[in-house]
A and B are shown apart, each in its own frame.
Chain A
Amino acid sequence: MRTLGTRDSFFDFITADRLYFTAFLFLFCCACMIVMIYVHLYRKKRRYFNRQYIESILDEWIGAAIIEPSVEGWHVHVTPELLDEFEKEHNRQIAIDQLINTKKNLLGEASENIVRLYMQLNLQRDSYKKMKSLIWHKKAKGIYELYMMGQEDIQDEIFKYTNSQNEYVRMEAQTAIIGFQGFKGLTFLGPLTESLVDWQQIKLIEQLKPLDPDLNAAQLSSWLHSSNDYVIVFALKLAEIYQQFYAHDIAAQKLSSSNDRVRRQAILTLANIAGDHTAALLVAQYAKETPQNKKVILQNLTSIATDNELPFLLQELENEDDQVKLDVSRVLYKGYSSGSELLAQKAQQSPAPYEAILKHVKSEVV
């Protein structure tokens, strides 16, 4: 048996037989994969038909839930055979998903009956069990289901998860608490030590949007002094959106934060709850800032700039960075009645690039 190599060496064990054997193993694995593929496809098909069947039953019940008036004690008639079907965990999950998807879109009476159906089938037990699971995605799903089905009595338990280490569990818990308690639910910000990413912040803000604002000044101030930068950024956002003017001075303090993001949001907030001296404050901050934050300052000066800021702006108009020239020109054109004149003068003095910039800024306003 010849080996790979013309002399005795470490690679002696590589014989043709061994190679063929390994190749055979590979083919065997390959065959296993193929079998698994088809088994999987078959099972998927089975599950699909089962799903259709279960959903058709649910459709009937959901239809009744929507159309029939909402009364205490409302329920559907479930035959013993169907009851058996809904003993299977898989089918129960289908039911939960279907009920949630329907309820997601409905308000008022129709959704009340959906919740009654959920509880009639004892599905809250499944959701609760999921919440108690150690696997993060099950936990998060459980919280999500309990929230979507309005299980308010579990609130306190859910609250504990608002500072969970796993970000998805955390997000669902926070969403749930805001869902149940509205603005009052924001108390979770106090003990929050984990991160609160932009995605979640936007989610929470959109959740709060349709509600009547109910921000507690003392609470907001405490959040603005939090040791967690994420909480500070979020609180600043709230101050910006809900025009909490009393937060102005605290926001100004945040301009000296070491965190870029905090400073950036502080700038945005200040611009939106501006007082008489805010523009001056931002201009003073400008020199110390990163290029990105400088841009944000310029973009937000338009509505709050006063004549005091004019010298600064005219100076920055000469900045070697054309982008800065453009941003400053915008502020001048839109924020000052004499703006277009000043820019026209500049354009006459040095047509490149001010003439093109002026035209651009003009066309934006049209």
Chain B
Amino acid sequence: MEVVFHIAADLLMYGIFVYSVVLLLFYIFIGLYSIGATEEYLHKNNFTDYRMLVASPHAPSVSILAPAYNEGNTIIENVRSLLSLFYANLEVVIINDGSKDDCLQKLIDGYELEKVDFFVNYQIKTKEVRGVYKSKNPVYRKLVVVDKVNGGKADALNVGINISSNDYIVCIDVDCILEQDSILKMVKPFLEETTKRTIASGGVVRIANSCEIRDGRLIKVHLPDNYWARMQTLEYIRAFLLGRMAWARMDGLLLISGAFGAFDKEIAIKAGGYDHRTVGEDMELVVRMRRYMAENKLPYRVTYIPDPLCWTEAPVSTKILGRQRNRWTRGTIETLKFHKRMFFNPTYGVLGLVSYPYWFFFEMLAPLIEFFGFIAFLIMAIIGMVDWNIFIALLVFIVCFGYMYSAFAAYIEVTTYNQYRRRTDMAKLLLTGLTEPFYFHPFGVWAAIKGYLDIIRKKNSWGEMTRQGFGPTTAKKK
């Protein structure tokens, strides 16, 4: 009996150790592999004259889809920001997902909207559309507002897909601040395709907390004052600048942020549109679109733009942050479950052989392994099966690796986009990083564990995400 126990303990220890080492190696690989990719992109961008595309009649038509739910506070400001983007052949579709507040009325008043006769082709099945509104004022001709019965973000986006008249869709969170030339940059990969069809293009999401924002435009970047937001800044830099860049380079990008992503509408429809059964609908759609192309043997690619094009408000309270991480975990689990066919399946190339397994082991299972692994080791140390020295050494080893990785990410950020100009900013960011293994990361793991519990209890909601708004909300009257 004791022998069995020992073997089990051994397996556990070695298992966790191997897991950690593989994970660290992956991180190192991602870190190094991403370097070349960002550099290359920056070189390519040196030449590109984006302005010429802005008003060309030959430029592709793009629809921005922004679902809105109870955004009454900030909706006028948000829409104004979207309407001022640099792109002529643009349609801004705001989908009012049955808001309980005055969101729709504010839009009607603020942008002189009137209901128009619109034939809604329910190409993707959605909840009912109550009305489509366009502006009487030619200055706002790009704006289309759709009022529908509440159905959730995925459903709202699908309505947007049905309504939009253009070839390419850019799906965003309505309160995101987009850079002026973001549409241009996101559309470019679709125009550069040769043998492989570009089906989706992802962008970088940056943290807007504490940044100076006026009239829906980002004026100056500041490092967030709030600890949680600051911590997320570092996290986002690691994830977006290193992680996604490397995956994109390998053509294994599984996730495009729901806050900012461009898609080929035709493929999105063929793949079936967003799935409302999951809270991770953004990730799930990309995976499904990729599967569609792979299963139909159509050569394709998913690209990624590392430029900071989209700024969003990060959660600042543990409650809301916890809900967000909980949701992300549930979304990941649901998505991977839907597509378990891809696990180590060569039909799906890099996606099936590398991306999916990585996400399964090192993103989905990671919180579980960390949590239970830590407890197991702790117990073993307490009962003397493992030397305390080793246990602590292992922790120190992992924590120092984390520091090194964060420092590396900070270095890449400074040498590429350098959004945080002040010397004190970098110092603050790095110091915040020091606390990560002890505070932020365990918090994240705990939120993820709760996500697991919720899935087991079959929860299926977004929870309440309340918005702070970016600053003094002065609704401009025309």
Contact = CB atoms under 8 A, between A and B. Distances in A.
Contacts of A356: 117, 119-120
B411 A202 contact: no
Nearest to B414: A37
B58 interface: yes
B385 A168 contact: no
Contacts of B192: 197-199
A6 B194 contact: no
Interface centre among A6, A37, A195 (most CB of B within 10 A): A37
Interface residues of A, number: 58
Interface in B118-132: 118-123
Contact of A360 (B119, B266, B392): B119
Interface string B169-194: 00000000000000000001001111
A87 B49 CA distance: 29
A40 B414 contact: yes
Contacts of B119: 322, 326, 353, 356-357, 359-360
Contacts of A323: 121, 123
Given A33-B404, A34-B407, A363 B396 contact: no
Contacts of A363: 116-118
A219 interface: no
Interface string B366-398: 000000000000000000011101101110110
B37 interface: no
Contacts of A144: 47
Contact of A359 (B44, B117, B403, B404): B117
Nearest to B167: A292
A27 interface: yes
Interface string B396-412: 11011101100110110
Interface string B45-56: 011010011001
Interface-centre pick from A7, A26, A44, A356 (highest chain B CB count, 10 A): A26
A168 B44 contact: yes
Contact of A202 (B14, B56, B404): B56
Interface in B70-119: 116-119
Given A2-B387, A195-B194, A37 B426 contact: yes
A366 B58 CA distance: 25
Contacts of A27: 400, 403-404
A49 B121 CA distance: 58
Nearest to B270: A291
Which of A6, A31, A33 has the most CB atoms of chain B within a 10 A radius of its CB? A33
Interface string A28-60: 011101101110110010000000000000000
B117 A202 contact: no
B59 interface: yes
Interface residues on B, range: 35 or more
Contacts of A24: 400
A284 interface: no
B439 interface: no
B47 A360 contact: no
Given A205-B56, A363-B118, A37 B393 contact: no
B13 A4 contact: yes
Nearest to B40: A137
A206 interface: yes
Interface string B27-65: 000000000000000011011010011001011000000
Contacts of B411: 33, 36-37, 40
Given A16-B389, A360-B119, A205 B426 contact: no
Interface string A205-216: 110000000000
Contacts of A205: 56, 58
B14 A5 contact: yes
Given A23-B400, A326-B119, A33 B10 contact: no
Contacts of A29: 404, 407-408
B397 A360 contact: no
A203 B116 CA distance: 36
A11 B6 CA distance: 15
B47 A172 contact: yes
B213 interface: no
B117 A360 contact: yes
Interface in A1-29: 2-7, 9, 11, 14-17, 19-20, 22-24, 26-27, 29
A140 interface: yes
A14 B194 contact: no
A2 B393 CA distance: 12
A5 B430 CA distance: 35
Given A29-B408, A202-B52, 12 more contacts: A3-B390, A4-B13, A5-B14, A20-B396, A20-B397, A24-B400, A40-B414, A41-B426, A197-B194, A198-B192, A199-B192, A202-B53
28 contacts: A3-B390, A4-B13, A4-B390, A6-B9, A6-B385, A14-B390, A16-B390, A19-B394, A22-B400, A23-B393, A23-B396, A23-B400, A26-B401, A29-B407, A30-B407, A31-B407, A33-B410, A33-B411, A34-B407, A37-B410, A137-B44, A141-B46, A202-B59, A203-B49, A205-B58, A206-B52, A322-B119, A359-B117
